[in-house]
């Protein structure tokens, strides 16, 4: 007996998406990917100049947008962002939380301020944005940016790795509590070259060969290669996907041993 299958395409066409931390790196690539696929996109960060530049790039892709700055560590900013988007577009279908702040310090060298700053952006910010936007979302998708450092001991990322480990758990709890109307998932990128990571594990650095030896294409990732997973998670095709952390790392995690 054939299955009664109502196919939902992988598209964000007609949706309204808010991407926090969207004026550089992976967040920007996701925002522009949404715009190219027909979504209205509000891409925000603390930088007025970068918000304006990214808004122009979104308009160049035929999408509508707003220019709103937002400090993800300030609840009032997040609320103002949400309210501005609802006033302009009538609602929010997708929230992507993608800000990144890293303290490159070991367990013994990281200061309490650095620890608190990382946690305020990476885990408290994720909770804050999820709570604020979920209050006004009848249905939709929330996508966070996870990290391989949550499950792998990467030296000198003590605060960041610990916060990202907490994010993994938060995604699962939020998915359980906010479903079925709101789906909550995360993308776990592999080693991607961005402004923040350039010079850390790019070509010529000690980690570069170890990374490329374990990826199928023997290279680092590009920010735009993360957008496809975000589009899927934001689309109706992912209607049965929640509480998941999707790894996009060209097989790095799968390569558990060397030949």
The catalytic residues are 160
- Radius of gyration for the chain, computed over Cα atoms and rounded to the nearest angstrom: 18
Check the CA dihedral 228-143-153-169 and report its sign: negative
Cβ-proximal residues to 242 (8 Å cutoff; 6+ apart), any chain: 175, 179, 180, 183, 184, 185
The CA distances from residue 235 to 16, 40, 224, 239, 240, in Å, are 11, 14, 17, 8, 11
- Continuous segment of H or E residues that includes residue 120: helix 112-122
CA distance 19 to 94: 8
**What 3-state DSSP class applies to 258?**
coil
CA distance 149 to 254: 15
Cβ-proximal residues to 93 (8 Å cutoff; 6+ apart), any chain: 12, 15, 16, 17, 39, 137, 139, 140, 141, 234
């Amino acid at each position: 007996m054939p299955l009664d299958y109502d196919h939902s395409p992988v598209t964000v066409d007609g949706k309204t998406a808010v991407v926090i931390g969207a004026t550089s790196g992976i967040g920007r690539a996701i925002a522009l990917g949404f715009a190219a696929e027909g979504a209205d996109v509000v891409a925000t960060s603390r930088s007025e100049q970068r918000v304006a530049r990214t808004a122009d790039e979104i308009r160049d892709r035929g999408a509508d947008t707003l220019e709103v700055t937002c400090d993800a560590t300030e609840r009032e900013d997040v609320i103002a962002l949400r309210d501005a988007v609802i006033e302009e577009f009538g609602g929010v279908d997708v929230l992507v939380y993608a800000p990144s702040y890293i303290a490159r310090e070991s367990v013994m060298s990281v200061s309490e301020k650095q620890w608190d700053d990382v946690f305020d952006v990476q885990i408290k910010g994720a909770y804050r944005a999820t709570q604020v936007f979920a209050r006004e979302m009848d249905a939709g998708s929330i996508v966070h940016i996870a990290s391989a450092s949550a499950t792998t001991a990467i030296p000198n990322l003590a605060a960041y790795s610990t916060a990202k480990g907490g994010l993994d758990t938060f995604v699962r709890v939020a998915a359980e509590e906010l479903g079925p109307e709101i789906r909550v998932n995360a993308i776990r990128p592999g080693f991607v070259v961005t402004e923040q990571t350039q010079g850390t594990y790019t070509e010529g650095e000690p980690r570069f060969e170890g990374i490329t030896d374990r990826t199928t294409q023997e290279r680092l990732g590009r920010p735009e290669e993360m957008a496809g997973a975000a589009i899927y998670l934001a689309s109706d095709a992912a209607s049965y996907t929640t509480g998941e952390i999707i790894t996009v790392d060209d097989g790095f995690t799968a390569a558990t041993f060397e030949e």
